[in-house]
Structure 1
């Protein structure tokens, strides 16, 4: 479901991860969202296997300090699982310490 984990975030349900690229997913419609870190255009991310909402993709960010998120996807840790139902827990955070309480 994912490739190239960049940093750890915190979201409404706990830990989440920001990725350059995610696979085995589909995207919902882009919409304007006011998040803790400012106004963003974002789209929900759904698992192609089960259809569950697993996160969101940042399309654009209004705040200059948030531009690094553009084109990247956030997956909520507790929602990520394999096709057999096993959980994909990251063994370590590549860049720990980042956080985001975005409310998508």
Structure 2
């Protein structure tokens, strides 16, 4: 936990496992299954399901469901592939549902 001292981060609301650094937020204007979500550059201490094509608000993407690496709570997804060239910036990025995380300092 020493690497988190003085740096805000987000943890799983269920088990408090750290999952993302506040510095890695790219956008706060996204939506997940249950409501508002953030787009993150990186995520940590998470595991992924099999990538599948999914129709989202901005088009079709290959996404992998993302789960807390500790308690396996569903957290959001990782953009694996964007089929629309205008959406390529999302590839390799992470959507984390705000209802599933809490900010810590």
TM-score (norm 1): 0.74
Bigger helix share: 2
CA RMSD of aligned residues (A): 1.3
Give 1:11-90 correspondences, 5 Å limit.
11-80=32-101, 87-88=102-103
Structure 2 counterpart of 1:7? 27
Gaps of 5+ in 1: 81-86, 90-104
Bigger strand share: 2
Query: Alignment partner of 2:72: what SS?
Result: coil
Q: Following the alignment from structure 1 to structure 2, what is the Cα–Cα distance between the partners of residues 12 and 43?
A: 14
Gaps of 5+ in 2: 1-18
- Alignment length (residue pairs): 83
Deviation at 1:61, TM superposition (A): 0.5
Q: Following the alignment from structure 1 to structure 2, what is the Cα–Cα distance between the partners of residues 53 and 10?
A: 15
TM-score (norm 2): 0.73
